Chains A and B, each alone.
Chain A
Amino acid sequence: MIKFMLFLALLLFVYIPTKEAIHMYQQNRYQQERYFYWIKQTIQRKAPYIGKYVLAFLPILGLLILYNHKNITILFTLLLFIYSYLCMKIDDHKKYIKPLVYTHRVQRLLIAYYLFYSVFFYFYIQWEIRIQIISLPLIFVGPWFLLFLIAAGMLPIEKQIRGYYVKDARKMLQAHTNLSTIGITGSYGKTSVKTILQSLLCDEYYSFMTPHSYNNLMGITISIRTLLKPLHEIFICEMGADHIHEIQELAQFVQPQMAVITAIGPQHLQTFQTMENIIQEKMSLAESLPAHGIAFLNKDDPHITKYRLRNKCKVVWFGIHEDADYRACHIRYSKDGTQFQIKHKEETYDVKTQLLGEHNVLNILAAVAVAHTLHISFEKLASIIAQLPYVEHRLQVKQMPNYTLIDNAYNSNPKGASYSLQVLKQMPHKRILVTPGFIDLGDITKQEHHTFAKQMAHCCDIVILVGIKQTKDIVDGLKEARFPKQCIHVVSTVQEAFQLLDKVAQKEDTVLIENDLPDAFNH
């Protein structure tokens, strides 16, 4: 009976560490390399505070002294219950920006963990009490390391399940003979172009798109399985990649008739390794098109124009600065939006939108190129553009009680960030920037942060940097540019940043949040 209670107490004891481990695995996109990197970083970060942890486990050592006591097991069990309670209480108070989502996959991991624990603790409770007590701290940190084993064990099952879903989605696509698919890829601008294109097309065609930022194999699979209806005529599919071959695989899966390549930049350079790889991979979407397909390409991007396309399909160019098929000119920016003209063949059309920034002009242009090619008149397009809503987290303007917020909290890149800063520059009164800097740029992060800092100095009045270590180069860059020191604030968490904002921002001020800030990357 006592042993059974001990068994239960142990299962309860490991719950919080297990949950945290799975949570961080989820935040690291279920990728073992990223998770391993995160564990390494966490150990390095927490090493100075080892004393605190030792203190927490002192009562355990106390028990060791009493090992001979006849009720030692009961005491041990009670102590475990107390620890479990404290862990849960602490966890209750932790505020995560992105809490753990109990997806089916997470549930499977939990089941796998507890199966392991059931077997392990069965034997554990039969060990000599002193050994039990001493190994307790190890059991506490165990889950974080055990994850590698459990995840590896689950991999074949996950693969099977994924494979089934992908096959199912592929079958659905093939059965649907009337569907035209438009693939959209590029280093940035994908979600914006996709969202704008959907707005432009949905009046005339029954079209649907991959929602939010679902742009990998599983995201696209879920989209098809839950959204594709027999009545649909057009599928707008966003395709993202951080390794080579990923776009090719997606193109083979979805088999688009049209492709849009928004722009090419150094995003995910760390995982792609070279710029050539990035260019090759993005352009492979255009190369996967059938002979009667149409590729819509950005004429302003030298990476794209210099590439020799290995496909005889039709190409339609869009852009601002060169002679594109769909060209934007007479662009005027203001804090309420943008106005410009679109030139196509001999015709010129005026458009205006509440969307901000030069890159949005390009995004609209790309979408117009596709919609117009699909026989939607310019008059209609202009009226829809006038009513385009903000895209979630892409320079999305929100009125907060104490300031105007421009939410650009998504995967930032150097080019996009410079556009955002230009937008911030035009705002009246105090211009405040909140950012963790760039993530995922690998080796070139340092120089890009320097450039970013220099731009900031011209465009902002106050800068709030999130993450002491990762923004160090930005601070240096700002100091070099003689940016007033009292206007530079460095905080550790997003919550602190917002608290600071409430103090420094006033009614007419504008705050720009540049780049995503989830919990795993905050330090």
Chain B
Amino acid sequence: MKIQVGVMFGGASVEHEISILSAMQVMKALDHHKYDIIPIYIAKDKEMYTGEAFKEIEQYKDITTLLKNKKTYHFVKKQQYFYLEQKHGWMNKKAYRIDIVFPILHGTNGEDGSIQGYLKTIGIPFCQSDVCACAIGQDKVIMKKLLSYAKIPIAPWFYTTVEEVNKSSLWLEKAEHLGYPLIIKPANLGSSIGIQLVENQEQLYKAIIEAFAYDEKVVVEKVIENMREVNASVLGDREHYEVSCLEEVHKHDLILSYEDKYQGSGKSKGMVSTSREIPAVLSFEQENTIKELAKQVAYEMEISGVVRIDFLIDVDHDTVLVNEMNTIPGSLAFYLWEPKDLTFTDLLDRILTIALKQYRRKEKMIVSYETNILKDYDQRQGLKGKG
């Protein structure tokens, strides 16, 4: 009996199309002998679709046509089974049994814990990190606060909110204190959207206001002038983490823009086509530092499955700083594991095994009691009022 894996992709996020690309790669790489693959496409209006057509990348060139006349689906639970069942219809409603969900969603509504929370509420097992790790990983402000607490090195920074910008000029002072140039990022989102480099007060103000279109919190970081971008992937769970091969990302502009990342020249689309160097050319110490830091970050954030952690090497001061983390990395960072003799297929298998272990462990925990304390409830005295 094959396990039915629901590969979930698309989503109401700015990285919708990237997620489709990642998912196509995953669906091709999954072991067809062990798993039956059911695509679960979440359209931008949050409706879910499935069917053989959704496994072909060509169909997504014109999504409107693809969705025309297709039925929408939703999750139902019958006894101990989960099904993706047609929403409407009288008889013979198509239903696909889903044993475990593999979310390949990037950005908001996918990587931020919302879909994980939904699946957890339903009770269906899912891959990759749990609600909390995803939520923290996506919110740059909270992540930086957590990393600071754990004494993990990050670039000098501060954050400001819509309210603060309107009420005071504290943020201006903090910016002066950090010193230009600065980089402005909306706290949520991802994939370089809303990110700008600023060199003076005017540009700062403009960039922050623009960033507020995407989020109510904005992170302001000091720009590391002479830096190298190195990424590492971590695979595992709290019991055991391992680090992949390291890659160095070479950019055209000071920041890797959306164009750089996804529309660059290269044979295949997706993350693989930017200018990357694998393995990164580093000193033994640098490599070691990054690998240890990567494991530490993974542990502090309690991630599960595979993540990609982006580092900045401050060349002038020879320090390593943690920049960002992706709980559902593009292409699941498979290209960082292949040099370590872990094929994409095996990587996916590992992720699924870790997910099952996580689910088993969580299922065992006591979350409710048989007794009903409302039995003794007295309207006048409340629950605590018993003589």
- Is there a chain A Cβ closer than 8 Å to B93's Cβ? no
B205-213, B284-292, B356-364 - the one binding chain A: B356-364
Tell me whether B356 and A177 are in contact (CB under 8 A).
Answer: no
Interface centre among A178, A203, A226, A230 (most CB of B within 10 A): A230
**16 intermolecular pairs with C-beta atoms under 8 Å apart:** A175-B1, A176-B1, A177-B1, A202-B360, A202-B364, A203-B364, A206-B360, A225-B79, A226-B80, A228-B80, A230-B1, A230-B3, A231-B3, A231-B99, A231-B125, A231-B356
Using A175-B1, A177-B1, A225-B79 as known contacts, say yes or no to A230 and B360 having CB atoms under 8 A apart. no
Instruction: Evaluate contact between B1 and A178: CB separation under 8 angstroms.
Output: yes
Range of interface residues on A (Cβ < 8 Å): 10 to 19
344-362 of chain B: CB within 8 A of chain A: 356, 360-361
For B3, the chain A residues whose CB sits under 8 A away are 230-231
Q: Could you say which residues of chain B place their CB within 8 Å of the CB of A178?
A: 1
B98: nearest chain-A partner, CB-CB: A230
Asked if B343 CB lies within 8 Å of chain A CBs, one says no
Whether the pair A203, B1 counts as a contact (CB closer than 8 A) is no
Q: Does B100 lie at the interface of the complex (its beta carbon under 8 Å from any beta carbon of A)? A: yes
The smallest beta-carbon distance between A393 and chain B, in angstroms, is: 14
Asked if A229 lies at the interface with its beta carbon under 8 angstroms from chain B, I say yes
Closest chain A residue to B361, Cβ basis: A203
Q: What B residues does A177 contact at CB under 8 A?
A: 1
- B81 at the A/B interface (Cβ < 8 Å)? yes
The size class of the interface chain B forms with chain A is: 10 to 19
In the complex, B97 has a CB within 8 A of chain A: yes
Q: Are B1 and A229 in contact (CB-based, < 8 A)?
A: no
Chain A nearest CB: distance from B45 CB in Å?
A: 31
How many Å from the CB of B332 to the closest CB on chain A? Answer: 21
B19-75 at interface with A (beta carbon < 8 Å) = none
> Which residue numbers of A lie inside 8 Å of B, CB to CB?
175-178, 202-203, 206, 225-231
Closest to A225 in B: B79
| Closest B residue, CB atoms, query A177 | B1
Is B4 an interface residue when CB atoms closer than 8 A count as contact?
yes
CB distance from B83 to the nearest CB of A (A): 12
Chain B residues, Cβ within 8 Å of A230: 1, 3-4, 97, 99
Residue of A whose beta carbon sits closest to that of B364: A202
CB-defined contacts of A202 to chain B, threshold 8 Å? 360, 364
Min Cβ gap A188→B in Å is: 26
- Using A175-B1, A176-B1, A206-B356 as known contacts, say yes or no to A229 and B80 having CB atoms under 8 A apart: yes
Query: Which residues from chain A contact B364 at a C-beta distance below 8 Å?
Result: 202-203
Distance A230 CA – B4 CA, assembled complex (angstroms): 9
Is B100 touching A231 in the complex (CB atoms < 8 A)? Answer: yes
Alpha-carbon separation in the docked complex, A474 to B305 (Å): 63
Closest residue of chain B to A232 (Cβ to Cβ) is B80
Which residues of A lie under 8 Å from residue B4 when comparing CB positions?
230
CB distance from B75 to the nearest CB of A (A): 15
Contact residues in A for B1 (Cβ distance below 8 Å): 175-178, 230
CA distance A206 to B360 in the complex (A): 6
Interface centre among B1, B97, B99, B125, by most A CB within 10 Å? B1
Nearest A-chain residue to B82, judged by Cβ: A229
For B361, what are the chain A residues with a Cβ–Cβ distance below 8 Å? 203
Find out whether the CB atom of A229 lies under 8 angstroms from the CB atom of B360: no
Chain B residues with CB below 8 A from A176, complex form = 1
Q: Measured between alpha carbons, how far is A253 from B361 in the docked complex, in Å?
A: 30
| CB-nearest residue of chain A to B2 | A230
CB of A250 to closest CB in B, whole Å = 22
Q: Which residues of B contact A226 (CB under 8 A)?
A: 79-80
Distance (Å) between the CB of A179 and the closest chain B CB? 9
Within B82-107, the residues touching A (CB, 8 Å) are 97, 99-100
Closest-CB distance, B125 to chain A (whole angstroms): 7
Nearest to A229 among chain B residues (CB) is B80
What is the CA–CA distance of A514 and B313 in the complex, to the nearest angstrom? 71
- A202 to B4 alpha-carbon distance, docked (Å): 22
- What's the minimum C-beta distance from B233 to chain A, rounded to whole angstroms? 26
Write out the residue numbers on chain B whose beta carbons fall within 8 Å of the beta carbon of A231.
3, 99-100, 125, 356
CB-based nearest A residue for B36? A230
Checking B80, B81, B99, B360 against A203 with a beta-carbon cut-off of 8 angstroms, the contacting residue is B360
Please give the distance in Å from B14's CB to the nearest CB on chain A.
34
Determine how close the nearest CB of chain B comes to the CB of A211; give it in whole angstroms: 12
Per the bound structure, the CA–CA distance linking A178 and B361 in Å amounts to 20
Q: Which of B80, B100, B356, B360 has a CB less than 8 Å from the CB of A227?
A: B80
Distance A270 CA – B246 CA, assembled complex (angstroms): 73
**B99 and A229 within 8 A (CB):** yes
The complex places the Cα of A177 from the Cα of B1 at a distance, in Å, of 6
Contacts of A203 in B (CB 8 A): 360-361, 364
Contact with A along B265-278 (1 / 0, CB 8 A): 00000000000000
Which residues from 327 to 354 on chain B have a C-beta closer than 8 Å to any C-beta of chain A? Answer: none
CB distance from B8 to the nearest CB of A (A): 17
**Chain B contacts for A225, CB-based, 8 A:** 79
Identity of the chain A residue whose Cβ is nearest the Cβ of B34 in the assembled complex: A178
Residues of B within 8 A of A229 (CB): 80-81, 99
Q: How far is the CA of A229 from the CA of B80 in the complex (A)?
A: 7
Name the CB-closest residue of A to B99.
Answer: A230
- Other contacts beyond A175-B1, A203-B361: 18, CB < 8 A: A178-B1, A203-B360, A203-B364, A206-B356, A206-B360, A225-B79, A226-B79, A227-B80, A228-B80, A229-B80, A229-B81, A230-B3, A230-B4, A230-B97, A231-B99, A231-B100, A231-B125, A231-B356
